[in-house]
Structure 1
Amino acid sequence: MTARRALVVTVVHHPLDARIRQRQITALLEAGWAVTYAAPFGGYGVADTDPRVRTIELPRAVGRRRLAALRAARSLLAREARAHDVVLLHDPELLVAALLAGLRRLPPVVWDVHEDTAASVAMKAWLPGVLRRPAAAAVRWLERRAERRVHLLLAEDGYRARFAVDHPVVPNTTAVPARPSSPERPAAVYVGHLTGPRGVVELVATGRLLHERSGGRLGVRLIGPADADSRALLDPPPPGVTWHGFLPHAEAMAALDGALVGLSLLHDQPNYRVSRPSKVAEYLAHGVPVVTTALPEAQLLVERSEGGVVVPFVQGAADPEAVADAVLALDADPPGRRAMGARGHAYAVEHLDWRRHGRDFVDHLARLAGTGRRPTHRVSRLVASAPRTSTTGTPGH
């Protein structure tokens, strides 16, 4: 039997993005699919060295510089898509490219909805303030049009209300180690992008406080790429802060193992209120106690797992003093933090393991590959009749 073929495309995300490359593409490869991956490898200075993946270079869409990436993606889809059974798009911009390439000539097109794009517009520093409301309205219009023209996958249950019909959810869960290491290393670790809304200022301030209050023994380790404003804070890093930059997912998880605490200090922003931070799931999976701001989904995870501490918002952001207090309390209580890490890992084994959701993801793409090109309400409702995924751990789409 000929292997199914998937064309996976992004011009915005890092080519080694955990959801795209480590979870979804790996799940397809393990199921025997042939994968073509088009992404801005050069724009991020990385390569995909897996011989099972055919890669195609695309320009990177960044800030206001997006037109070249859009044109290249349209050309790619017109040239490559028909040699595949499914096209999986990861950026809203690519919906425009697909429309320009002519959807009627393409195989089933799937948009993987990573975020509440309209809500995130308010956080785009490169977009002038006067344009943010019209841009958000344009995104909502594009979403409504896309729902009638392409298939949708959602990264969060909270995204369902944005759409007219129900769509399957592929949650941001993670691979859960069988045996996590004990949280003993004297470091609070953050894994993810470093930006203002993601709490970089509070992370740096927490590192300084931990360094001062522990006599230099404790600090914060930051793992991930930084935007321009964040780089200005981190070059050079202040005392108590170590910045590793971007690390491939496996290396980032290895650096996380055994950490005293995992930090998630996201601000109280509309886009974050309906999203479950993947970093919180990763910390729990690795048996690392979590310290998080009181975003609804993050707080729900921590409370249900009993795997961490929630710090309240102060004017929409974390209070570094409260974060440092939480870290120091865990540092002073080895039995308590070990028990907390063990509870978080046990919860992750039961509710957050990607291996379960990865099979559902592949099965869904396989079903679409055997259907017509255009979505129908009948298909969407059939998928939605399966149990919903939620932070309670209910399996399935």
Structure 2
Amino acid sequence: MRVCHLTSVHPAEDIRIFVKECQSLVSAGHEVILVVANESPRVINGVKIVGVHAPAKNRLMRMLKATYEVYKQALKEDAEVYHFHDPELIPIGLLLKGKGKKVVYDVHEDVPEQVLSKQWIPSLLRKPISFLVKAVEKFASKRFDAIVTATPTINERFKTYNERSITVHNYPILNELIDPNLDISKKQFEKPSIVYIGGITELRGIREMVQAIETINKDQHVQLHLAGKFSPPELEIKMRKLPAWQYVNYLGWLNRQQIKQCLSDATLGLVLLHPEPRYVVSYPIKLFEYMSAGIPVVASNFPLWKEIVESSGCGKCVDPLNVDEISETIRWFLNHPEKAKEMGMNGRKAIEEKYNWESESSVLIRLYDELSTKRD
């Protein structure tokens, strides 16, 4: 089929949208177009990327301008299936459905829950907006041909709206972040290094991570290798003023090859998100990427995360708000390198056997097979 993926928010080479979903569909024989905002047109690995010009001075204008431009381009592509990735594109999905197209809504996050913790939304408006978003998703999802969700928890809600609602986990590609010929058992940790890769915010635990590293450096030297973008940007200024910043190696934003190199040199990976409702039931891609690279993890002690970490034996879970517990757990890994190596190997084994994109892509392909035989 001729398939058109739509996003007004994500970059052209987004990992879930472009690297995983679009390229998997190309491999399955579909013609795939990706319409994105403010990107140059090009073809990469069989995916035709079409950029639309939608500059804006603020968030509201971006949403309105980008949505309109994406819709215009979507009509030009005249695809059989439209697969969109942002809640602000729900109106586009309904318009395309009205024109007789097959439409798939890809739900990356639990948006109503997200709204409740968005700092840029006035606190008095968060609950009403959350309620409105949920109502809109319910109304629209009943009319779409399929819903793809990133986690089972999100899928539980959407399954009540649309029977064709499936979960496609955002697990890592099997050999993207590790050399398949690497023997993890022979990995040496001559210079211990701790890594965190991802969005850098207060709620994702940046302050606790930096404070824990400071505590550890009172009796043994170790660096926190930090990669990603600060949000808001002012947070970086605040963190750099802390005495503990001297133990941080800030790498900024890294491409996938740089992330692979960073993980290959790491002793331990951190994923210490705060116990926000949306985080507690999430499947953090960074946890699985650390496991994929064969390094042990220290993760937040949410029940879902504990089940993953403990069942695979790939690390330890801690209270993400307890700096002393975090620092003591990191110190344990530094003082037990052989156990750390064993846990890293366990994590890699779990990825190979269960938590990989190769198994998830078959779920997506099967959905498209069903859509290709469906007739409105």
Distance 1:325 1:98, change over 3 A: same
* Correspondences of 1:93-104 after superposition (within 5 Å): 93-99=88-94, 101-104=95-98
Aligned 8 A contact 2:200 2:229 in 1: yes
The offset of 1:234, in angstroms, is 5.1
Show CA shifts across 1:259-308 (max 9, x none).
11111011111111221111111111211101011122221110111101
Corresponding letter in the other structure for 1:200: I
Paired position in structure 2 for 1:274: 281
Moved more, 30-39 or 168-177: 30-39
Q: Trace 1:149-228 onto structure 2 (pairs within 5 A).
A: 149-150=143-144, 151-163=146-158, 164=160, 165-166=162-163, 167-177=165-175, 178=180, 179=182, 181=184, 182=187, 184=189, 186-214=192-220, 217-228=221-232
Instruction: State the shift of 1:23 in Å.
Output: 1.4
Matches within 5 A, 1:373-388: none
Question: Deviation at 1:146?
Answer: 2.1
- The answer to which structure, 1 or 2, has the higher relative contact order (CA under 8 A, 6+ apart) is 1
Counterpart check, 1:24 vs 2:21:
yes
What is the rounded CA distance, in whole Å, between the counterparts of 2:361 and 2:241 in structure 1? 40
| Equivalent position SS for 2:192 | strand
- CA-based RMSD of the aligned residues comes to 2.4
- Distance, in Å, in 2 between the alignment partners of 1:5 and 1:244 is 40
Instruction: After superposing the two structures, state which structure 1 stretch, 330-339 or 48-57, moved more.
Output: 48-57
Residues 292, 183 of structure 1: alpha-carbon distance in 2 compared, 3 angstrom cutoff: farther
Partners of 2:194 and 2:225 within 8 A in 1? yes
Contact 2:268/2:295 (CA < 8 Å) preserved in 1? yes
With normalisation by structure 2, the TM-score equals 0.87
How far apart in 2 are the matches of 1:339 and 1:13? 37
Residue 15 of structure 1 aligns with an amino acid whose one-letter code is A
1:147 is aligned to: 141
1:324 maps onto 2:330 in alignment: no
Mind listing any 5+ residue stretches in structure 2 that lack a counterpart? none
Q: Is the 8 A contact 2:228 2:251 kept in 1?
A: yes
| Secondary structure, aligned partner of 1:112 | strand
Partner of residue 51, structure 2? 57
1:68 and 2:57 are equivalent in the alignment: no
1:128 to 106, 117, 122: 122
1:295 and 1:56 map into 2 onto residues whose CA distance is: 40
State how far apart, in whole Å, the 2-side matches of 1:171 and 1:327 are.
28
Q: Provide the aligned length of Structure 1 versus Structure 2.
A: 358
Identical aligned residues as a percent:
26
Deviation, structure 1 residue 246: 2.0
Gaps of 5+ in 1: 374-397
Counterpart of 2:317 in structure 1 is: 310
Amino acid at match of 2:126: R
Hey, what's the Cα distance between the residues in 1 that align with 2:108 and 2:366? 19
TM-score by structure 1 length? 0.83
CA shift for structure 1 position 310 = 0.4
CA shift at 1:93, angstroms? 0.7
